[in-house]
Structures are given as structure tokens and as C-alpha cells.
Amino acid sequence: MKNWNVVNITASIAWIIAALVSANAGLAAITAALNSQMNSASGFAMGAAFATVALFALWQALRQKLRAPSPAQATPLWPAPAADAALHPAPPMRTLSVDEALAALQAAGVLRPHEIDAGELAAVLAGEGVSDDGSADSYDIAHALAALAERRTTPLSRVAVFHDQVEMDETALSAIVHAFARLSVAEVAQLQFRFGTGKPRAAHVSFTSAGRRCDLDFTFHAKNLPGDFFGPLARFFQQADHGPPFALGGFDNLVLLTRMTDEQLETLNATLDPGMTWFEPLAPGA
């Protein structure tokens, strides 16, 4: 790909130079004709010929640009839906009461007992016009839970909330690293980022935690969570504390980071909605 780009750029420059030379020659011929230094008809004809060559050269330069490969797309956190998903729509999502949802999240270790009040969660659902009776599907409950978490002065002890398709910068990336550390009851020091050029941009993060150093290359996207960032961080912190595996819950543009065993993850998904896989292991086998 790099060699193709070099050839492409070189060809574009050559055609642009040819266009400029031809345009200059055509202008000189027309100027000479106007000053009667040559036959007017032949001068204008020569100028028109050079102008035609200049336009052709510009068109060739534009073609080189149009043939350039499109930039790489954001690395998704989850695979794209199957091509025939529209032909086989998913069944309606299961509706849960707030009490059922909180009990399932507590059993999975995502929430501590009494960390979130059922009444508060029901009030958020009602305030959003989702439910008046305290029942909703897992998608709406997750968004209400995230809204409550972001209002708290102290973060939830076993879950971190992120939003996809928003502006990403070094502060947002730092928050991801610190969230992994918090869920691992660890500290992060000497956190540094380096960014390359281009779109998307190659990036590198380095830091130390519990006497171990992490150096990670990833791809930075200005509007998306980095898909190749979460997995390596999960492996790094899991290897340090040997705690439950990290898991990621995806609810459209809402992402919940937590930790639970494989059995807890399977049970939670089955309880929230047997027809959906809301939470997935982030670094299987780490």
C-alpha cells in the first residue's frame, strides 16, 4: 500500500507540473499573438492547443487523487450484524422489572448490594418517558443505570461507563486506562500517549502499574472508542491481579466495562434477555 501511494503521489505531481508548463506556454503564445510577434491565427491556435494539454494534465492529476484508497475504518468493538439480519429480525427484547434487573446485576458482581436504589432507577426510567411502572428492557435499564452512575460523586465500584461515537482525545483515553486500574484496585503512574499523523492515527500508550510496565500500540479515532485498546488493557490488568475476567456490555453507543466470571456472564445474559448477548468477555483466555 505504501509503494502504491508513492507512485500515485509522484504521478499526480508530474501531471500538475505538466499542466503548469502547458498553461504557461499557451499564455505565452497568446500574448505573442496579441503583441503581433507571430501570426495571430497560428498564435491563438497554439495557445488553444497548450490550454487543451493543460486541461488534460489537470484531469489526469485529479484521476490519480480519485483513485487513492479510502482511509481505514474504525476498528469496531463488536462485529457487524450479519448481512441477512434484516431478513431475520431479532425477537422483541425481554421486559424486566427494576428489581429483577438489579438482582441480576448484583448476582453477576456488576453492582454491590444497595449500590443503586431501585426507586432512583425507576424514577430515571419514568423521567425519560420509558416506563411508568418500573419495568423496561435491558437496553433502557442500562442507559438509566449509566445516567445514575454519571450523576454520582463517586463512581460505581464495579462498573465503568463510556460512550462511543463522541469526541475522543487524550483525556478520554486516560479515563479508559484509569477505569481498568480502578476495577483492578490498582494505581497508574507515568501515563503517556504518543500520536502519529493521518486518519486514523497510529498511537502508543505507556504506563506503569504495580511495578509492571505496559507499552501498547493502538489506532486512535477522533469519533470512536479505539477497538484495539480495550482487549490489550484487559489482558495486562488481568495478568496482574488474577481477578475475574473483564467484560464489555454494548448498548448501542453506551459501553459498560465490568468484571465477572464466565458463568456469571452467561447467567446475566440469559437473565437480561435470552435472545441477546449484551455482555461479552473482553480478553478470553487471558
Buried b (16+ CB within 10 A) or exposed e, 14-36: ebbebbeebbebbeebbebbeee
Q: Rg of the chain over CA atoms, in angstroms?
A: 29
Bridging pattern class, strands 201-209 and 254-259 = unpaired
Q: What is the pLDDT of residues 226-277, one digit of tens each?
A: 989 999 999 999 988 888 999 999 998 999 999 999 999 999 999 998 878 8
Please give the average per-residue pLDDT across 84-93, as a whole number.
Answer: 57
Q: What angle do CA 283, 262, 100 make, to 5 degrees?
A: 120
Domain residue limits, the chain: 2-65, 95-281
Cα–Cα distance measured from residue 271 to residue 256, given in angstroms and rounded to the nearest whole number: 17
> Which contiguous run of DSSP H or E holds residue 141?
helix 138-151
User: Greater confidence, 146 or 39?
Assistant: 146
User: Greater confidence, 199 or 17?
Assistant: 199
Q: What is the pLDDT of residues 44-58, one digit of tens each?
A: 556 555 556 556 655
Buried b (16+ CB within 10 A) or exposed e, 43-75: bbebbeebbebbeebbebbeebeeeeeeeeebe
Q: What is the pLDDT of residues 202-233, one digit of tens each?
A: 999 999 999 999 999 999 998 899 989 999 99
Q: What is the pLDDT of residues 172-199, one digit of tens each?
A: 999 999 999 999 999 999 999 999 988 8
Amino acid present at 27: L
Q: Is the pTM of this model over 0.95?
A: no
- pLDDT band, very low/low/confident/very high, at 69 (cuts 50, 70, 90): very low
